[in-house]
Amino acid sequence: MSRKVVVFDYGSGNVRSAVRALERVGASVTLTADAGTALEADGLFVPGVGNFHACLAGLRAADGARIIELRLAGGRPVLGVCVAMQVLFDGSTEPSPAPQEGLGEWPGMVERLQAPVVPHMGWSRVQVGEGSVLFAGVESERFYFVHSYAAQSWTLEPAGPFARVAPVVTWATHGGPFVAAVENGPLAATQFHPEKSGDAGAHLLENWVRSL
The catalytic residues are 82, 193, 195
What is the residue type of 159?
A
- Please answer whether residues 33 and 62 qualify as being in contact, where contact means their C-beta atoms are separated by less than 8 angstroms: yes
Angle made by CA atoms 208, 190, 212, in degrees to the nearest 5: 15
- Please answer whether residues 158 and 167 qualify as being in contact, where contact means their C-beta atoms are separated by less than 8 angstroms: yes
Angle made by CA atoms 169, 174, 175, in degrees to the nearest 5: 120
Phi, psi (rounded to 5 degrees) for 115: -145, 155
CB burial readout 16-29, b (16+ within 10 A) else e: eebbebbeebebeb
Beta bridge partners of 178: 172
The alpha carbon of 158 is separated from its chain's Cα centroid by a whole number of angstroms, namely: 19
